[in-house]
Chain A
Amino acid sequence: MEYEVKPRFYTVAEINGLIKSEVENNPYLSSVWIKGEVYNLTYHSSGHIYFTLKDDSASISAVFFKYANKNLKFKLEDGMKVLVFGGITVFEKRGSYQFNVLQARPEGAGELQKRIEQLKKKLSEEGLFDQSRKKELPFLPARLGIVTSPTGAAVRDIIKVALRRYSNIEIIIAPAKVQGEDAAATIAAAIKELNRPQWNIDVIIAGRGGGSFEDLMPFNEEVVIRAFAGSRVPIISAVGHQIDHPLSDDAADAAAPTPSAAAELAIPVKSDLANEIEYLKTRMLNSLSNNYMNYKTALKNLVSKKIFRDPYEILNSRQMLLADAESRIVNQMKHRVSSEREKLLRVPDIYRLQKKFLGQKKHDFELLTQNLNNLSPLNIMSRGYSIVLDRNRSVIKSVEKISQGDSVEIRFSDGSAAAVVNSVKKEN
């Protein structure tokens, strides 16, 4: 038995509508996570992001509308491995479908983030991130050390900014790989190398330009963090863009959002410093000349005083004082003399009294002299008495002292005579 089955003919639109309905109502296909790599990435001016998500064997178109991507924390890049969440949308008109992305994250980010958090906790407990460990950046570094890839954008940015700010700076680059498997070891080695005293480095900038989360991973590796923390030379972490915050930022003495910013942090603007010195010199010169002018004015005021203008003035006035004093003294003396004289005149006439007294005394003296004269042996002898002296010129006071025949001397008032005793006769 054969039945002729009349086939049901669908229009293309009907089929596409059916598919759309099947797909978009399928709970599995409307909210699903897909793992893949980003290709043919377009950031459209409308704010929507278009790309192809692919893996080794297949690809699918994806759209990430503005309303959904505005909270995206990282920048999508070609070749980036991502996890995207969303649903399938079917275009009935073209019979095509695409993945409507509602959320995206770098693949493996969750695992890595967890590892970073664990490392952060461990190193923090060791005190590697302590504020007290942070060294001050030098005010005027003469030698800047750079740890980064010699072929990357970071080294160019740092050199450009450093030379612009300070044209005669010395720069030493210690090359390092900044992404990939062995990057961490090369970064740590370069930091250690620049710490050797022979390089005489004043400040180090270590970092790299922006990249994917994985690209920045070396700056989250323990060996790199320890090299940052152990740097004897002050070190600045300069990794990626503003939004990136690797652990090296915590371990460094200072963290800069970008390599260019790190150069600005490390190197002062030479002309600013030169201007500052000139400004201070001008201030000193001005205040010195002010000071000088003040003293000069003070001196001028002093010199213009009458005493200096007319030095005889002081002599004249002193002379007048002197003359005045002199005349006062003279007058006083005159006055004194005359008053004393008057006093003297008022006193009884001492002179006369004295003369009288002296006359009296003279008279007394004459009387006494007269008496004395009267008593003198010579005076007595002048009245007729004489003295007999023996051979020894002793006065003979008794007849008993004399014998007949003795030679004697007879003294008169006006002379003497030699005699010989003829006879001796004692009376009574």
Chain B
Amino acid sequence: MEKDKKLSPKTSFEDALEELEDVANKLEGGELGLDDSIKEFEKGIKLARYCQQKLEEAERKIEILQKGADGEVKPGRVAVKPDTGEIENEEDLQGSLI
């Protein structure tokens, strides 16, 4: 069996999902002994958990970059109506960074 790649926070969702699919295929191949299939299964569950965690990793927020008086660009949180995508108080926003 090849050496398992260790899951690290740098592993991409895509890679983990692909590996999860490999594990499922391997298990379905039916060529594994009981011990190995339990090992694979555990690995698969770890991958699935990692993927699910990755899905939740991002925090819903919408920010708009604005240039301060000192010329520095800073993000500012804005409220958005999710059904229309409309930014509230959009008239207060700078139209560009220059």
- Which residues of A are in contact with B by a Cβ distance under 8 Å? 138-140, 142-143, 149-151, 155-161, 163-164, 166-177, 182, 185-186, 189-190, 193, 199, 270, 273-274, 276-277, 280-281, 283-285, 287-288, 290-292, 294-295
Give Cα distance in the complex from A155 to B87, angstroms: 9
Indicate if the CB atoms of B96 and A168 lie closer than 8 Å: no
Indicate if the CB atoms of B32 and A291 lie closer than 8 Å: yes
Which 10 residue pairs are nearest across A and B when measured between Cβ atoms? A160-B85, A159-B85, A186-B96, A139-B14, A156-B85, A287-B27, A140-B13, A142-B58, A168-B60, A173-B64
Chain A residues closer than 8 Å to B90, beta-carbon distance: 150-151
Interface centre among A138, A151, A160, A175 (most CB of B within 10 A): A175
Indicate if the CB atoms of A185 and B44 lie closer than 8 Å: no
Chain B residues closer than 8 Å to A167, beta-carbon distance: 60
Chain B: which residue is nearest A202 at the CB level? B58
B81-98 interface bits toward A, Cβ cutoff 8 Å, 1 = contact, 0 = none: 011111100110111111
Indicate if the CB atoms of A291 and B37 lie closer than 8 Å: yes
Min C-beta distance of B47 to chain A, whole Å: 9
Indicate if the CB atoms of B94 and A175 lie closer than 8 Å: yes
A193-B65, A291-B34 in contact; A151/B95 too (CB < 8 A)? Answer: yes
Indicate if the CB atoms of A287 and B28 lie closer than 8 Å: yes
Chain A residues closer than 8 Å to B96, beta-carbon distance: 175-177, 182, 186, 189-190
Indicate if the CB atoms of B85 and A270 lie closer than 8 Å: no
Indicate if the CB atoms of A176 and B44 lie closer than 8 Å: no
Chain B residues closer than 8 Å to A284, beta-carbon distance: 23-24, 27, 40-41, 44-45, 48
Give Cα distance in the complex from A138 to B58, angstroms: 14
Indicate if the CB atoms of B62 and A287 lie closer than 8 Å: no
Q: Describe A's contact surface by its main secondary structure.
A: helix
- Which residues of B are in contact with A by a Cβ distance under 8 Å? 12-14, 17, 20-21, 23-24, 27-28, 30, 32, 34, 37-38, 40-41, 44-45, 48, 51-52, 54-66, 73, 75, 78, 80, 82-87, 90-91, 93-98
Give Cα distance in the complex from A1 to B52, angstroms: 112
Chain B residues closer than 8 Å to A164, beta-carbon distance: 82
Chain A residues closer than 8 Å to B59, beta-carbon distance: 168, 170
Taking A138-B12, A160-B85, A284-B23 as known contacts, 7 extra A-B pairs with beta carbons closer than 8 A to each other, sorted by chain A number, are: A150-B95, A170-B61, A172-B62, A175-B64, A273-B17, A277-B52, A295-B34
Min C-beta distance of A59 to chain B, whole Å: 33
Give Cα distance in the complex from A273 to B50, angstroms: 13
Could you jot down 17 A-B contacts, CB within 8 Å? Answer: A138-B12, A139-B12, A139-B17, A151-B90, A151-B95, A159-B87, A163-B80, A168-B56, A169-B58, A170-B59, A172-B65, A173-B63, A182-B96, A193-B65, A274-B52, A277-B52, A283-B28
Indicate if the CB atoms of B45 and A281 lie closer than 8 Å: yes
Give Cα distance in the complex from A287 to B82, angstroms: 41
Give Cα distance in the complex from A295 to B35, angstroms: 11
Indicate if the CB atoms of B14 and A186 lie closer than 8 Å: no
Indicate if the CB atoms of B63 and A156 lie closer than 8 Å: no
Indicate if the CB atoms of A276 and B61 lie closer than 8 Å: no
Indicate if the CB atoms of A273 and B82 lie closer than 8 Å: no
Chain A residues closer than 8 Å to B94, beta-carbon distance: 175
Min C-beta distance of A87 to chain B, whole Å: 44
A139-B13, A169-B58, A287-B27 in contact; A156/B86 too (CB < 8 A)? Answer: yes
The answer, among A157, A171, A175, for a CB contact under 8 Å with B93, is A175
The answer, among B44, B55, B60, for a CB contact under 8 Å with A274, is B55
Min C-beta distance of A199 to chain B, whole Å: 8
Indicate if the CB atoms of B84 and A270 lie closer than 8 Å: no
Give Cα distance in the complex from A168 to B96, angstroms: 26
Chain B residues closer than 8 Å to A185, beta-carbon distance: 98
The answer, among A150, A166, A283, for a CB contact under 8 Å with B64, is A150
The answer, among B37, B55, B82, for a CB contact under 8 Å with A288, is B37
Chain B residues closer than 8 Å to A143, beta-carbon distance: 58
